Structure 1
């Protein structure tokens, strides 16, 4: 068959509607292996990451967990098991509280430092030693057995932030339900907000040098903002104002707590 004849036959087949070549032997296309689609060159795609709960979801989960605590021991166990904050992975210990839970005065600080992280107790470093001296001057101590002369101490964060940095807002928001439940279960007459972070958590405000010495309400109780002992170590001249705040606290206790 010459080329002209072959072309004429192909043209005839096209006109008759033939659009597929027919092999000499039948082909079972269902038996062909399924080939994966070709992938573009480059690194393989990353697996999808699990979605982390938003800040509101994290705080809501913390509130639900804190609400289940009927005692301070319950709260410590539940809070220690809260997985919402990354800082817990770099801390040595969970730091819950120290002192007498029956105390009339509850101090709320910021977060554990290096020594607090090591001993699993709040306010035990240099700032903690100064705090003990300050409150001893008005007859209060974390080691006192009777509630009238006792102190109960906790922090907004129970884990030490990396490098002793200040707590971030999402960390404060996540721990606030636990702190509120902590105050509710301890039932102090007065709360001392020791520094900017507790004021931000309880009052939604900062600027401790403006807030200090002014009685307010936090956690449904009378509250007194005070400068943190760490600030007093750096700025000794500010101890005069801190002493005035201590005298105000003593007078409030002696007069009887009023809403």
Structure 2
């Protein structure tokens, strides 16, 4: 709706109630700016210099209001002033209600820090021109989908990484995976009972060999036997006899466990904690 009122005419303009109602409708149309801007916004002026704010125009609860400015305090309020006039029927009535925003306290207060200065349409257009277009947004979305798939083991848990810094420096969102301390990680194999259950532990740093684990070996030695049974004994059949007994050889080895550790580098393992 667009209203043009041509007051500058000769003959006397009739200031009727209909004309005044039309003027009020035109004025109320400007309050649409309040709905467009949003509550507690600055649409003009209100420049801050040190501890002072210049006059300007603000939006409060959908009303476009003049702000008188002044020394900054924490809250502002809407000051309402009524002007009474004597009508033609000699009765006094409120004709004008003037609302002004001021620093201070009133029936309803608003925090000054909650007010936001709106950018101009030109500034918004310049910002929009520098933003990504829909194709770029779609490309970023596709990349995010791929990234989510790649990072799913981290987000959902179940993954550990080697950490080569002190445990005290593990970053936020991560924690040490303590159940792999002093252990290596072996691949899962459903066809081998030793490696078919995820989370199972096994193995040791050393092994103590048993007799059954020793390699097969033979010792060659020279033996001396008496003459055949029924002979008169001795090496040549004489009267000397052998003194036969069983003797143990000297012990070899110290029964020390064998170190079977592979060459390694020490690291802590960390897992997601978010």
* TM-score bracket relative to the smaller structure: under 0.3
Q: TM-score, normalised by structure 1?
A: 0.17
Q: Looking at secondary structure, tell me which structure has more strand per residue.
A: 2
Q: Looking at secondary structure, tell me which structure has more helix per residue.
A: 1
Q: TM-score, normalised by structure 2?
A: 0.17
Larger-Rg structure: 2
